[in-house]
Amino acid sequence: MALMAPRKTSLFTIGYEKATSPAVLGEIARARVDILVDVRAVAASRRPGFSKRQLAAGLDENGVAYLHLRGLGTPKEGRLAARAGKLDELHRIFDAHLKTPQAREEMDELTALAKSGKRLCLLCYERNPHECHRQWVAEIVSARTGQPVEDLFALQLP
pLDDT above 90: residue 5: no
Over the chain, what is the mean pLDDT?
92
Tell me the CATH architecture of domain 11-152. 3-Layer(aba) Sandwich (3.40)
Q: What are the backbone angles phi and psi of residue 117, rounded to the nearest 5°?
A: 95, -5
pLDDT above 60: residue 17: yes
If you average pLDDT over residues 72-97, what whole number do you get?
A: 94
Give domain limits for the chain: 11-152
pLDDT in tens, 112-157: 999 999 999 999 999 999 989 999 999 999 999 999 999 999 988 7
Alpha carbon distance 78, 76 (integer Å): 5
List the beta bridge partners of residue 11.
Answer: 120, 149
pLDDT band, residue 7 (cuts 50/70/90):
very low
pLDDT above 90: residue 6: no
74-112 b/e (C-beta count within 10 Å ≥ 16 → b): bbeebbebbeeeeeeebeebbeebbeeeebeebbeebbe
**What integer pLDDT is reported at residue 157 of this predicted model?**
75
**What integer pLDDT is reported at residue 10 of this predicted model?**
82
Is-contact 63 56, C-beta < 8 A? no
